[in-house]
């Protein structure tokens, strides 16, 4: 039986020594597709409503309300009708417009890409374009996933910023909207955020950068753009001292064969950037 103790002890030591490195890799691979999959959200909302209607024990105030459903389905006329009493709406915003993990009607309309609904909601007195959702990623609670973190169109991105959305607002893990856009691979949104003051070298709590995220996910066009705009290649993570090149190497090993050619371009661009940095 002694061998069992030594095996368990070895596993424990390995976990303690490599926990931070594993966290870096695990959290980097998270995707936002689950949060902006509108079909999935519709299904969840339907099941949620049925559960609460059938169960008297579940507070009805926590259920998806008509405004939320109208925003999700791009029913602008219904949104207009529901917003006629703006004072009542603001009161509801603070109390009831919280679904799943703090998702609001503005958040869901942004995720769905419903421009006119987003425009209408932003005009409501008291609407906060920085109100973020609480999400669970790899078993960890991430707070502050704002509309800018999940925006899918350049027009809505510009509109949110016009109404006060903060381009460098960090989630609880330190990641910014620009960082999130690099993970999702949306070059146009990255451009919009950068042109409106978003930091291209903002680091999260583990010391990772948007460049590392783009490199890990094989976003060659994003890597090129970030480097052109001054992304630093000399930054390293807090644990393990990983560089953008390291994340590109990890991403290449984990990806499918069809995607690997993009990593060759990324590796070349990063090597050239490192050389330029060393010579300067």
pLDDT at 68: 74
- Does pLDDT of 10 surpass 50? no
pLDDT at 84: 77
pLDDT at 48: 56
CATH says 23-199 is which class?
A: mainly alpha
Residue 18 or 239, more confident: 239
Please answer whether residues 156 and 193 qualify as being in contact, where contact means their C-beta atoms are separated by less than 8 angstroms: no
pLDDT at 40: 59
- Mean pLDDT, all residues of the chain: 77
Q: Does domain 201-280 have CATH number 3.40.50.300?
A: no
Lowest mean pLDDT among 58-62, 176-180, 207-211: 58-62
Please answer whether residues 84 and 124 qualify as being in contact, where contact means their C-beta atoms are separated by less than 8 angstroms: no
- Does pLDDT of 160 surpass 90? yes
pLDDT at 70: 80
- pLDDT single digits (tens) 232-272: 999 999 988 999 999 999 888 887 776 788 899 999 999 99
Cβ contacts of residue 98 below 8 Å, gap of 6+?
A: 62, 104
- pLDDT single digits (tens) 96-113: 333 446 778 898 899 889
Q: Which SS3 state, helix, strand or coil, does residue 103 take?
A: strand
pLDDT at 57: 46
Segments of the chain assigned to CATH 1.25.40.20: 23-199, 201-280
CA distance 223 to 263: 10
pTM: 0.78
- Does pLDDT of 8 surpass 50? no
CA distance 243 to 148: 26
Please, which pLDDT band fits residue 136 given cuts at 50, 70 and 90? low
- Does pLDDT of 79 surpass 90? no
Residue 71 or 174, more confident: 174
Provide, for the chain, the percentages of residues in helix, strand and coil under a 3-state DSSP scheme, each rounded to the nearest 5: 60, 5, 35
Residue 65 or 81, more confident: 81
Q: Give CA 30 to chain center in angstroms.
A: 9
Q: Per-residue pLDDT averaged across 88-95, rounded? A: 42
- Does pLDDT of 128 surpass 70? yes
Residue 78 or 53, more confident: 78
pLDDT at 64: 57
Lowest mean pLDDT among 11-15, 58-62, 77-81, 172-176: 11-15
Element spanning 141, H or E: strand 140-145
Please answer whether residues 20 and 241 qualify as being in contact, where contact means their C-beta atoms are separated by less than 8 angstroms: no
């Amino acid at each position: 039986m002694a061998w069992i103790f030594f095996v368990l002890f070895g596993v424990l030591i390995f976990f303690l020594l490599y926990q931070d490195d594993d966290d870096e890799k695990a959290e980097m691979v998270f995707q936002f597709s689950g949060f902006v999959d509108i079909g999935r959200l519709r299904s969840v909302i339907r099941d949620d409503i049925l559960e609460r209607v059938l169960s008297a024990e579940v507070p009805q105030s926590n259920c998806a309300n008509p405004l939320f459903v109208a925003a999700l389905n791009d029913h602008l006329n219904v949104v207009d009708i529901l917003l006629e009493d703006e004072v009542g709406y603001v009161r509801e915003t603070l109390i009831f417009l919280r679904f799943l993990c703090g998702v609001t009607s503005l958040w869901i309309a942004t995720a769905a890409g419903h421009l006119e609904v987003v425009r209408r909601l932003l005009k409501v007195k008291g609407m906060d374009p920085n109100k973020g959702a609480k999400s669970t990623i790899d078993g960890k609670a991430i707070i502050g996933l704002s509309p800018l973190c999940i925006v899918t169109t350049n027009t809505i991105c510009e509109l949110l910023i016009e109404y006060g959305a903060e381009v460098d607002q960090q989630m609880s893990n330190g990641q910014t909207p620009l960082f999130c856009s690099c993970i999702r691979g949306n070059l146009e949104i990255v451009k919009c955020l950068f042109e409106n003051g978003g930091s291209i070298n903002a680091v999260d709590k583990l010391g990772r950068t948007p460049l590392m995220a783009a490199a890990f996910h094989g976003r060659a066009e994003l890597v090129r753009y970030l480097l052109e705009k001054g992304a630093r290649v000399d930054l390293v993570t807090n644990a393990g001292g990983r560089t953008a090149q390291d994340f590109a190497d990890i991403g290449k090993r984990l990806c499918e064969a069809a995607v690997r050619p993009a990593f060759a371009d990324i590796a070349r661009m990063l090597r050239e950037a490192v050389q330029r940095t060393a010579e300067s």
